[in-house]
Amino acid sequence: MKYWLMKSEPEVFSIDDLAKSKNQTTFWDGVRNYQARNFMRDEMKIGDKVIFYHSNTEPPAAVGICEVVKEAYPDFTAFDPKSKYYDPKSKKENPTWFMVDIKLVKKFDRPVSLEEIKRNPKLKNMKLVQKGNRLSVMPITKEEFNEIVLMGNKNYK
């Protein structure tokens, strides 16, 4: 089993939106970066665990745990001219972009801010805290996953 961190802008789709979704499950649309796509398409498997992260907000923070419930399939928003994720180069017979489905496992008792993540020496190797990294889907280690989950517990510190 692998562990991941996935970023979403809460103004677009927050963990509370996920909590309100049918079966607390959503399709992860709009990934338009090849490296992130490759992770989703080639490596994400059912049962993989995901840290849900709020980006481009104040404060940026890890906010909960999700689980992959459907492996990669074509991102249909790329075929829809009305979608902001429309990409005319992606053809139905040979799709460029893929999505997975994720289900909410648990919203953290407390958000784990980027600042806290940066302060924690156990998390210093995460791509998230390395300068200039803009990946929206990234692999993390089991240890990093467990540490962030611990920090999200109301009894932490």
Partner DNA sequence: GCCAACGTTGGC
Rule CB under 7 A: which residues touch DNA? 7, 9, 32-35, 55-58, 60, 89, 114-115, 131-136
β partners of residue 91: 94
d(CA 150, CA 71): 27
Q: How far apart are CA 62 and CA 60, in angstroms?
A: 7
By beta-carbon proximity to DNA, the closer residue of 56 and 153 is: 56
Residue 71 beta carbon to DNA: minimum distance, rounded to whole angstroms:
22
- In the complex with DNA, which residue's Cβ is closer, 105 or 135? 135
> What's the min distance (Å) between Cβ of 155 and DNA?
25
Q: Output the six-digit token pair for 83.
A: 């979608």
C-alpha radius of gyration, the chain, whole number: 15
Q: Pick between residue 24 and residue 113 the one whose CB is nearest to DNA.
A: 113
- Shortest distance, CB of residue 37 to DNA, whole angstroms? 8
Count other Cβ atoms within 10 Å, centred on residue 146.
14
